[in-house]
Amino acid sequence: MSNIKSAFYNKKAFIPFVTCGDPDLSITEKIVYEMADNGADLIELGIPFSDPVAEGVTIQKASKRALDNGTTTDKIFEMVMRIRKYTNIPLVFMTYANIVFSYGSEKFISAASDLNVDGLILPDVPYEESDEFSGICNKYNMDLISLIAPTSKERIAKIAKQAKGFVYCVSSLGVTGVRQKITTDLKSIITEIKANTNIPAAIGFGISTPEQAKNMAEIADGLIVGSAIVKLCEEYKENAPQYIGRYVKEMKKAII
């Protein structure tokens, strides 16, 4: 079983996100351990980009804080090397096309694969442009995660058919960030995804409360929480790991 598959095996997967390097990489490392120890099934490691067009204000600011303190792709790889001595939890990188492309796509993906990173999420690489990354990902046994949005409509089938790892189902229009309410008809989108693929589908964007988590877990195989966690980093800085640990525990409990 692939590592990503095991994250969804016989359970609803809770997938927390963290921006690497916010407030610094040693804290990010502690946050990952807290997440792993408190029930996270898969962790999304955000590699900060200077101009993240799919992110709302919370993650934009976190990316800026991380870059301002000198976080780089190489330093993040070194951190993952340390993390891998401690835990085998499934990990995926979330970043933007230029971070991978500029590093050298093959160099980046092979390095990530050597660190047993299981997947890659590139929100600015749609189906039409995915070949140049998915080919290399296949070669190194990494899953390039496909995203499906409320606007995807007739595109759902073709995206789902070639999807690997899990399908990232975007809950709402717009960018990442906490939302009071999610109004998209996610049930019918998930149904259509399921009609076209056997891999799990997780919902992300806008989820922050245990109640939302519970509702989403009824529809999907897993859920992704980003901005709500990044806000804890912003608020508690070097003390964030324990707060995030508690939050992950609470969210996981809501979907068991």
Partner 1 sequence: MKYGHFGEHGGMYIPETLMNAVIDLENAYNKLKSDKEFNDELNDLLNNYANRPSPLYFAKNMTEKLGGAKIYLKREDLNHTGSHKINNVLGQALLAKKMGKTRLIAETGAGQHGVATATAAALMGMECKIFMGAEDTARQALNVYRMKLLGAEVESVKSGTGTLKDAVSETMREWSCRIDDTHYVLGSVMGPHPFPMIVRDFQSVISKEIKEQIVKAENRLPNAVIACVGGGSNAIGAFYNFINDKNVELIGCEGAGKGIDTPDTAATIATGRLGIFHGMKSYFCQNEYGQIAPVYSISAGLDYPGIGPEHAYLYDTGRAEYVPVTDDEAVDAFYFLSQVEGIIPAIESAHAVAYGIKKAKSLDKNDIIVINLSGRGDKDCAAIARYKGEEIYE
Which residues contact partner 1 (rule: CB under 8 A)? 49-51, 53-54, 56-57, 60, 64, 67, 72-74, 96-103, 123-129, 147-153, 155, 159, 170, 173-175
Residue with smaller CB distance to partner 1, 57 or 256: 57
Residue with smaller CB distance to partner 1, 77 or 247: 77
Residue with smaller CB distance to partner 1, 67 or 157: 67
Shortest Å distance, C-beta 121 to partner 1: 11
Shortest Å distance, C-beta 104 to partner 1: 10
Residue with smaller CB distance to partner 1, 27 or 167: 167
Q: How far is CA 24 from CA 27, 189, 247, in A?
A: 6, 38, 20
Contact call for residues 1 and 28 (beta carbons, < 8 A): no
Shortest Å distance, C-beta 102 to partner 1: 3
Shortest Å distance, C-beta 231 to partner 1: 17
Shortest Å distance, C-beta 130 to partner 1: 10
Residue with smaller CB distance to partner 1, 38 or 152: 152
Residue with smaller CB distance to partner 1, 35 or 201: 201
Contact call for residues 21 and 49 (beta carbons, < 8 A): no
Contact call for residues 94 and 46 (beta carbons, < 8 A): yes
Alpha-carbon radius of gyration of the chain: 16
Residue 22 belongs to what H/E stretch? Answer: none
Question: What are 25-29's contacts with CB under 8 Å, separation 24+?
Answer: 25/71, 25/75, 25/76, 25/79, 27/233, 27/237, 27/238, 27/240, 27/241, 28/79, 29/79, 29/82, 29/83
| Residues 202, 121: Cα–Cα separation, whole Å | 13
Residue with smaller CB distance to partner 1, 40 or 122: 122
Instruction: Map residue 232 onto helix, strand or coil.
Output: helix
Shortest Å distance, C-beta 158 to partner 1: 11
What are the start-end ranges of the E strands in the chain?
13-19, 43-46, 91-94, 119-121, 143-148, 167-170, 201-204, 222-225
| Residues 190, 160: Cα–Cα separation, whole Å | 10
Shortest Å distance, C-beta 52 to partner 1: 8
